[in-house]
Structure 1
């Protein structure tokens, strides 16, 4: 039985996707293995949250100027083409937005504002690993009455993990979609479970969001 202090409240949940951009897809020069492969599960989650009229926030990276993680500054300074503003690679992976979806508004995002992509659906730029660091994510979620955040997306050891720690630190109930996250491992799952993250497969999340009662 899940601890009642961490158990998800599906009726007040939001989905947060992390770095599901084309440059990070499997097979790209700087891509992460397994990221393209989770798109079907991620689409199921997105469809369920849209159908339930629950908020969705797509967190993205944009590398411009010198405001870059130290570990990637040499790459970017050397001309590395990775999620640069204006490039095709910084767009969300195909199929994650309804229809063709709007282009990302780089200036709006780099200014630290949320871009509306659809009904209760947004994009936010994060300048570092964690989705809450120097972003309006907490304010956006609280404004929608959210107390439970479901995470999915690219590269569990880095940005999703940092984002989940940020969510736990802000007293959100946190869920990880175990089959909609790339670079996952049993060790990674144990570590995030140890801070109160609830591990749930996509099919169960879809069922609970669709019929939260």
Structure 2
């Protein structure tokens, strides 16, 4: 993921980091985690280190995230052509302004890397596909990728490739 980010940053391509924030009262948490949060679990708690971008992925001018603004649906700039957005559920398009944000910038192709393929990236790629974005999955820059999932992505028109192919395309 770090190599992909570095290449995108040097090429001035837009980058959007998608995060979760779980309010301690559980009001914005999905059902499968709500009870744990309500009982005191601190998972992606706003204004905590666990809700920040991983240190190795942060742009050089990174400042702490503004949880209130993100929870209100705003995109926070963290670099030139680089933003962070909050999503309340698995998919990045569910109850967010992501589609409008992308369309206003003329972005029609989304390249996905990230954590936990079976949940968030997979759901977001399905949502992007059903909105007629071109979708690229960088399989070796994503955790928990499995063969059947890769085939399912290909079946809906996702271009599945390696980081080396992305880097070659950028060059």
TM-score range, shorter chain: over 0.9
Q: Which runs of 4+ in 1 moved over 3 A?
A: none
Q: Which residue pairs with 1:104 in the alignment?
A: 65
Larger deviation: 139-148 or 103-112?
Answer: 139-148
TM-score, length basis structure 2: 0.95
TM-score, length basis structure 1: 0.77
2:7/2:170 contact within 8 Å kept: yes
Larger deviation: 85-94 or 119-128?
Answer: 85-94
How many residues are aligned here?
169
Give me the whole-angstrom Cα distance separating, in 2, the residues matched to 1:87 and 1:54.
29
**What RMSD, in angstroms, separates the aligned Cα atoms of the two structures?**
1.0
Structure 2 residue 162 is matched with structure 1 residue 206: no
Structure 2 residue 11 is matched with structure 1 residue 52: yes
Provide structure 2 residue ranges, at least 5 long, that are not aligned to the other structure. Answer: none
Q: Per the alignment, in what secondary structure is the counterpart of residue 205 of structure 1?
A: helix
| Larger relative contact order, structure 1 or 2 (CA cutoff 8 Å, min sep 6) | 1
Q: Which among 36, 54, 79 is matched to residue 40 of structure 2?
A: 79
Structure 2 residue 16 is matched with structure 1 residue 61: no
Structure 2 residue 145 is matched with structure 1 residue 184: yes
Cα offsets for 1:44-72 (capped at 9, x unmatched): 11111111111000000000031111111
Provide structure 1 residue ranges, at least 5 long, that are not aligned to the other structure. Answer: 1-41
Q: Which residue pairs with 1:143 in the alignment?
A: 104
Q: Which residue pairs with 1:123 in the alignment?
A: 84
